Amino acid sequence: MKIIVFTAGGTIDKVYFDAKSQYEVGESNVQLLFKEMNVGFDYRVESIVRKDSLEMTDADRALILDNVQREPCRRILITHGTDTMIETAKTLHRHVADKTVVLTGAMQPALFRNSDAVFNIGCALGVLQARDSGVYVVMNGMIFDPLHARKNRDAGRFECC
């Protein structure tokens, strides 16, 4: 089985820039995490967008959609910032019916010891391999239909709505 990972930035890929005393989206950490997880499938990682999701535009979502539609692989994982992940998932849901696409992210950068990134990616990979075609959001150990999900910022998790 082959899986394609499209990265779109977000907290999962944030790194600390000491000179600026702030966090910025950096190189994707997915390949490092896959190596540490010792995954048993073929994969390719491709960066599409490198933004905090609050800066994500409709043009960025169109670019992600275009990459998903052109990709011959039928199992696609997208790492994405959590603030606008649902919007991107809804865009994909409207236009992608023949592939299994899972969006996930993290509330803390992947390289932080207490990050939820490894857990979310692991859950997303399971959903990606077990579910039929469709678009799913996987966060906090749960699978969401993007049409009926939201981020609860106060609780720091996603939930059905």
- pLDDT at residue 107 in the model: 77
Domains contained in the chain, number: 1
* Nearest residue to 102 via CA among 49, 139, 73, 148: 139
- pLDDT at residue 26 in the model: 53
> Residue 45 belongs to a domain with what CATH number?
3.40.50.1170
- Interior angle at CA 31, CA 75 and CA 129, nearest 5: 25
Instruction: Read off the pLDDT band of 9 (50, 70, 90).
Output: confident
Structure-block tokens of residue 64:
């992600």
CA-to-CA distance for 26 and 133, rounded, in angstroms? 31
Digit-coded pLDDT (tens) for 111-120: 666 778 889 9
Structural domain of residue 122, as residue ranges?
2-160
